Amino acid sequence: MKIIQSFLLAGYFLFGLTACKNNSEIEVGQATTMEIPKRIFQAGTVMKGERIKATFKVINTGAYPLVFGEIKPSCSCTVVDKPEKPIPPGKSTIIRAEINTDELHTKNIHKAVTLMTNTEPNINVLEIKGRIK
């Protein structure tokens, strides 16, 4: 009985390996280049409690897919949406960051979002600035 279970398990494993094969292979691991036309998002003056929704366009200007590793906001009041898939050469993506101003205790807003990518340099910083009325 255990032999049959072992063969079935091996069969499922082999089927899974061949069924999930993707013919459009992406070469990842190579350094690429990117362009961020606007690294600073000016939110202007907002009311306390208002949510700031910042967007940053990122363009892969290199010859290899652009891969995002960790994306870190400077504080817990900022939530960032990270691209999960590699960005092909010549294509672009949008990084979205949202700041909950209800959690801020100062009038001036200056928050950072740090991107870790497969570029040189591999760390890039985006900024969100504004003022609470």
Residues in the chain: 133
* Of 97, 26, 96, the residue nearest 66 (C-alpha): 26
- The total of other beta-carbon atoms located within 10 Å of residue 1's CB is 5
- Return the pLDDT at 22: 45
89 contacts: CB under 8 Å, gap ≥ 6: 32, 60, 61, 62, 63, 64, 65
Beta strands in 9-91 (DSSP E): 34-35, 40-46, 51-60, 68-73, 78-81
- pLDDT of 23 strictly over 90: no
- If pLDDT is split at 50, 70 and 90, which confidence band does 3 have? low
Domain parsing of the chain, residue ranges: 34-132
Residue 5: φ, ψ to 5°? -60, -40
Q: What is the pLDDT of residues 36-85, one digit of tens each?
A: 999 999 999 999 999 999 999 999 999 999 999 999 999 999 999 989 99
With tokens 């072992």, the residue in question is 6
Q: What is the pLDDT of residues 98-121, one digit of tens each?
A: 999 998 999 999 999 999 999 999
Q: How confident is the model at residue 2 (pLDDT cuts 50, 70, 90)?
A: very low
Q: What is the pLDDT of residues 115-127, one digit of tens each?
A: 999 999 999 999 9
Question: How far is Cα 46 from Cα 35, in angstroms, rounded to an integer?
Answer: 29
Compute the average pLDDT of residues 12-40: 63
Both tokens of 104, joined, read 């801020």
Residue 62 contacts by C-beta under 8 Å, 6 or more apart in sequence? 31, 32, 33, 34, 89, 119
Q: Are 34 and 117 in contact (CB under 8 A)?
A: yes
Q: How confident is the model at residue 30 (pLDDT cuts 50, 70, 90)?
A: confident
pLDDT band at 29 (very low <50, low <70, confident <90, very high): low
Tell me the CATH architecture of domain 34-132.
Sandwich (2.60)
